[in-house]
Amino acid sequence: MAAHNLGTELDLSWISKVQVNHPAVLRRAQQVQARRTVKKEWQAAWLLKAVTFIDLTTLSGDDTSSNVQRLCYKAKYPIREDLLKALNMHDKDITTAAVCVYPARVCDAVRALKAAGCNIPVASVATGFPAGQTHLKTRLEEIRLAVEDGATEIDVVINRSLVLTGQWEGSDFIKTSTGKETVNATFPVAIVMLRAIRDFFWKTGNKIGFKPAGGIRSAKDALAWLSLIKEELGDEWLKPELFRIGASTLLSDIERQIYHHVTGRYAAYHDLPMS
């Protein structure tokens, strides 16, 4: 994410004493996943809110300017206008939080969003995504070029050897994973991360953002994530400055659920525009 944290002196003494009650974390995760979701108009409202947290993402080896352009248009118009009108939300300027692309596609995204007449941020996965194992000089140059091309947020892939050897680094956001791992965003891991954010806030007064990424595909999952953030960190964190969902296919299911809420039936493949 865009760097704005001026930093605070890092005290590792309390970090080294942190312990995780694994069985309790698993129970809490099961509780979150088993909870019945809100229904009807309340569900529609929460799903629209979830849209505003999505970093709409394409990170494929065959990305082109045309599919990035489609993605940007979908970021600007995430839900069909007639559906928003039925919910009386057509004038609320609902968009995704950002568009996330490879550094080489930043120019395409910036150009497409400008053509669409919106100022949605462009995020880029610079710094040797997804392994983070390139030279530091190369990683810094990749960030510089992405920013030069118009990226305003950078998803940094840390060199994980630094973590494994206890050489901690600071950030404005922490993310569950690159989204390219075998296992990505899970509730048990998220609970530990969120409580670390909470403890850090209590000790320093600094708010760190959180981004689950990878494997979040259903509207039901999105509602569970919003509920978890609300309960663990509070309403203060339920804003795009402090919470994002990294996803490429989640938006399609959210729009499908809203279509069902408005019309009483599920959409056929051709009823909803592709992203």
Residue 107 has pLDDT above 90, yes or no: yes
Average pLDDT over residues 22-48: 88
Domains and CATH numbers, the chain: 20-268 (3.20.20.70)
Cβ atoms of residues 260 and 266 within 8 Å: yes
Residue whose token pair is 């390219």: 180
Q: Which residue has the higher pLDDT, 275 or 23?
A: 23
Distances (CA, A) of 11 to 204, 205, 207, 227: 10, 14, 16, 31
Q: How far apart are CA 122 and CA 56, in angstroms?
A: 10
pLDDT at 97: 97
Q: In one letter, which amino acid is 171?
A: S
How do residues 187-210 score in pLDDT, each as one tens digit? Answer: 999 999 999 999 989 988 999 999
With the C-alpha atoms ordered 241, 274, 182, 219, is the resulting torsion angle positive or negative? positive
Count of CA atoms in the C-beta half-sphere (13 A) of 3? 9
DSSP 213: B
Q: Which strand ranges, in their side-by-side order, compose the sheet holding 122-124?
A: 153-154, 122-124, 98-101, 54-57, 245-247
Q: What is the CA radius of gyration of the chain?
A: 19
As a whole-number percent, the residues of the chain with pLDDT over 90 amount to: 66
Q: Lowest-pLDDT range, 58-62, 169-173, 268-272? A: 268-272
The whole-number pLDDT of residue 163 equals 80
Residue pair 153/131 in contact by the 8 Å Cβ criterion: no
pLDDT at 2 over 60: no
Mean pLDDT of the chain: 89
| pLDDT given for residue 165 in this prediction | 83
- Residue 180 annotated as catalytic: no
Residue in 215, 214, 222, 212 with CA at minimum distance from that of residue 257: 222
- Identify any residues that bridge with 122 across adjacent strands, giving them in sequence order: 99
pLDDT score of 41 more than 70:
yes
Told to judge if 175 belongs to the known catalytic residues of this protein, a careful annotator would answer yes
Q: List the structure tokens of 64.
A: 């082109």
Q: Which of 74, 175, 203, 207 is catalytic?
A: 175
Residues 146-152 have a mean pLDDT of 97
Catalytic, out of 211, 220, 230, 239: 211
Please tell me the distance from the alpha carbon of residue 267 to that of residue 178, in angstroms, as a whole number.
31
Phi-psi region of 246 (alpha: psi -120 to 50; beta: other; left: phi over 0): beta
Determine if the peptide bond prior to 130 is cis (ω within 30°): yes
Mean pLDDT across the stretch 102-128?
94
CB neighbourhood size of 26 (10 A) = 13
Q: What is the mean pLDDT of residues 212-239?
A: 93
